Amino acid sequence: MDGTSDRYRWTETVSAEGMWDWDLRAGTMFLSTRFRQTLGLASDISAPSGPSCPEEWFARVHPDDAPWLRAALDGLRAEPQASSGRAMLIEHRVRCGDGWRWLSCRGMLVRESGRPARLVGCVADVTERRAAEEALRLAEERQALLAAGANDGLWGWSPQNGDLICSPRWTAMLGLSEAEHDGTARVWFDRVLPADLPGLTAAIDLHLSGEREHLQHEFRMLHADGTERWLLVRGIAQRGGDGQAVWMAGSMTDITAAKRAEQQLLFDSFHDGMTRLPNRTLLLDRIGQALDRDRRGGATSFALLLIDLDRFKSINDALGSSLGDRLLTMIADRLIGLRRIGDTLARLSADEFAVLLDDIGDVTDAVEAAQELSQAIAKPLALDTHQLVVTASVGVALSATGYEQAEDMLRDATLAMHRAKSGGRARIEVFDGDLRRAALTLMRTEADLRTAVEQEQLCLFYQPIIALESGRIAGFEALMRWNHPERGLVPPGEFIPLAEECGLIVPMGRWALRTAARQLRVWQARFPRSEPFFMSVNVSARQFRDDDLVRLVEEVLADSGVPPSSLKLEITESMLMQDPDTCRRRMQTIRDMDVRLSIDDFGTGYSSLSYLHKFPADALKIDRSFVQALSSREGNAAIVQVVATLAQILGMDAVAEGVETEAEAEFLRDIRCRYAQGFLFARPAPAATIEALLVNAGGLVPVA
């Protein structure tokens, strides 16, 4: 074997392959140095060890490959004599360290004296080749899977002769059979919508000319079923040496669903979700377009109508939002039925609609259109078991006013609508300059009022409340004033309603209650009496509803130290009737703190006797309108007497406001009204003036 070993070593020096020689008669196998190293064997020479020696090779073959290798070698040994010299080739894996390597094994049978004597051959390490082939196979499989599963149709096109090849997915996207594809680009371009064809060809030309690096363009094509489909085409050109495109390939994606979603999103951005009418944004755009036409000259006049449904919130609260929505839809349908071609009908908010009237003659045309719409809205509505009549207040703004911005025209129509509501509802008002001036004044007043709160321009005046039987001061009512730096003292009627509307009344009310309680404590300490002075403070509807009034009263009592029974909160009758149960519970909580409660302006609102006895009130205040009618001996005198008597029956005090004459005071004494206040006794005045009165008169107010 030494000579054989030497020959194999010489051969291996010029070959990358390992050699093997299996002596079938002796049962031994020679493995060359390179082969033994591949198998991980220590020795590089054959060491005959009986029939088991070839097993050193087979023991390292992968279990899945060993049967094939044995079968191939057995096949060689079983070759008939006529086939002697036929080669075997098989690839298998062997264990090498912790991994596996692929070997390509060649072998042939050698006969001596006509009988099988040896199997000889060589092996080569083909691991890297097999890995590369596997990677290529996986890549091809993935590419095929992507092509089969993608939403893209693939295409290739020759710009020179117009030949077009398409994947099955490409034709399937358009509902075409492969037979309908004639191999030319006509199957593509002939189905493009005429309006989109120029854009597509321009995008292709820009890429072919090199002005754009890639082709990417959206367009529409006609599906075989007659519908339009949105498609996105992407592609890139292959260019020759002269830079000219010789081939172009790419993909095409059906983006119809995405386009429809995009169009729906765009529609939703400019339309009301419930009625599908244009919304405020689209209306302003239409107004802007009309103003642009007007500025260019030659355009006809137009008008904007703002329609607000009267008392819709009450209807919605009573019937529920579901029926409320149906009501709005029914009204929208009525308005749609009256809309002229060219007009824009929009829904701006829950109960606000607007109509942009195009091509009108003058204000008369606009008012007539508003009347027609109002009459249509006011027709009876059947909503399940309910029969409803809804009215509308309409504001009109005319283009002849001369607008620069769409928002200005909508603002003026809104101002006119508010004037229609304040005038009694179910009215039509046309905007004029006075409305804008009033709105600007209101806006400036609101801004000044906010500054007044921040810079402590507010102050309290106090009006004594007289015990009619003794003629002495029993308490005071705190009245808010605004000491404006330019206008001087502003009457409460000019700023209290505005403060209610804009929400400033809440911090103003907190300040007033704290300030009045501290002042009361000063007077109680300086002018001690067996029955201490009391202080009445008005509580606004918004403060009673929105503010944490109970906690505020607790803090005021703790801060001022006044006895709870000397603090009186005045609440209007109409406020109580908005939500009687909630008001009663809140009043009871305050009354449990021993704070007194008065019902102000009694007799001017609901005057619901069925509810009155349920409220834990301590006093009824008789409105000045009834008191001042006493001198004229009108029927209101009887009302005053009824209220005073009612207070006695319910265990309450009666307080008359606005007493200006001795005759009025005498009448009130006769009917046993306990308290009164008014100019007859004292006008509202700052704390210093009231304190001087207390010092000089000792609490006894002289009657003029």
358 shares a domain with 411: yes
Mean per-residue pLDDT, 458-467: 95
Question: Residue 703 falls within a domain, yes or no?
Answer: no
643 shares a domain with 577: yes
pLDDT at residue 436 tops 60: yes
pLDDT at residue 46 tops 60: no
Q: How far apart are CA 49 and CA 274, in angstroms?
A: 94
245 shares a domain with 351: no
Question: Residue 9 falls within a domain, yes or no?
Answer: yes
Question: Residue 143 falls within a domain, yes or no?
Answer: no
Question: Residue 53 falls within a domain, yes or no?
Answer: yes
624 shares a domain with 507: yes
527 shares a domain with 651: yes
Helices (H), 297-432: 312-319, 321-338, 363-378, 406-422
| Enclosing domain of residue 8 | 2-131
Provide CB contacts within 8 A for 635, sequence distance 6+.
none
432 shares a domain with 313: yes
Question: Residue 309 falls within a domain, yes or no?
Answer: yes
Specify the pLDDT at position 265. Answer: 87
Return the CATH number at 225. 3.30.450.20
pLDDT at residue 528 tops 80: yes
Question: Residue 144 falls within a domain, yes or no?
Answer: no
Final residue of a domain: which of 385, 411, 436? Answer: 436
Question: Residue 447 falls within a domain, yes or no?
Answer: no
pLDDT at residue 384 tops 90: no
Q: For strand 228-239 and strand 115-125, is the pairing parallel, antiparallel, or unpaired?
A: unpaired
Final residue of a domain: which of 436, 469, 490? Answer: 436
166 shares a domain with 78: no
Question: Residue 75 falls within a domain, yes or no?
Answer: yes
Final residue of a domain: which of 436, 468, 489? Answer: 436
Specify the pLDDT at position 600. Answer: 85
β-sheet bridge partners, residue 354: 306, 346
35 shares a domain with 93: yes
> Which percentage of the chain shows pLDDT scores above 90?
43
681 shares a domain with 629: yes
Q: What is the pLDDT of residues 651-690, one digit of tens each?
A: 899 999 999 999 999 999 999 999 999 999 999 999 999 9
Specify the pLDDT at position 47. Answer: 44
Q: How far apart are CA 365 and CA 111, in angstroms?
A: 120
pLDDT band for position 50 (cuts 50, 70, 90): very low
Instruction: Work out the mean pLDDT of the chain and round it to a whole number.
Output: 85
Residue type, 141: E
Specify the pLDDT at position 125. Answer: 87
Q: How far apart are CA 417 and CA 266, in angstroms?
A: 30
pLDDT at residue 556 tops 70: yes
Tokens 């101002």 map to which residue?
415
201 shares a domain with 111: no
As for how many domains the chain has, the answer is 4
β-sheet bridge partners, residue 281: none
> Which percentage of the chain shows pLDDT scores above 70?
90
461 shares a domain with 412: no
Return the CATH number at 681. 3.20.20.450
498 shares a domain with 432: no
pTM of the model: 0.51
Q: How far apart are CA 460 and CA 686, in angstroms?
A: 7
pLDDT at residue 389 tops 80: yes
